[in-house]
Amino acid sequence: MKESLINHEQNSLEISQEEPAKFMENNQNNTEHTQKEIEELSKTVIDELEDDLKAWTELRQETIKKLKAIADYVDSVTKKGIIARAVGSGGGVLAGGLTIVGKNVNDPDLVN
């Protein structure tokens, strides 16, 4: 009985010493496989990010063009508003002058 226990313990030790070697071998294979997968995945992700960056850049360029067009429109409306205000003020001054002249012409005291 004692001898069978010793044999069993020796066999257990032999197995336990072999297991780490097998584990390391399997783990190394898994690591290599995982590294390949990571490299492929990384390339895929980088390609997708580059595509997204190109699309984003194109959209931003279109947005910039539209914003410039809007700014030009607002600028033209502002200039037209300034011109209209100047013409309106000038017209108001002219109308005021004509009103005064019209009153003076129709005033009997001034005609004599």
User: What's the structural domain count of the chain?
Assistant: 1
Model pLDDT for residues 33-63, shown as the tens digit of each residue: 678 888 888 899 999 999 999 999 999 999 9
pLDDT tens for each residue of 77-89:
999 888 888 777 7
- What does the block give as tokens for 91? 């017209």
Element (H, E) at 28: helix 2-106
Structure tokens of 96? Answer: 């005021």
- E-assigned strand segments in the chain: none
User: Closest by alpha carbon to 78, among 92, 66, 86, 67?
Assistant: 86
**pTM score, whole prediction:** 0.46
Q: Give the structural domain span for 15.
A: 2-111
Query: CB-based contacts of 105: which residues, under 8 Å, 6+ apart?
Result: 111
Q: What residues have CB less than 8 Å from 34, skipping those under 6 apart?
A: none
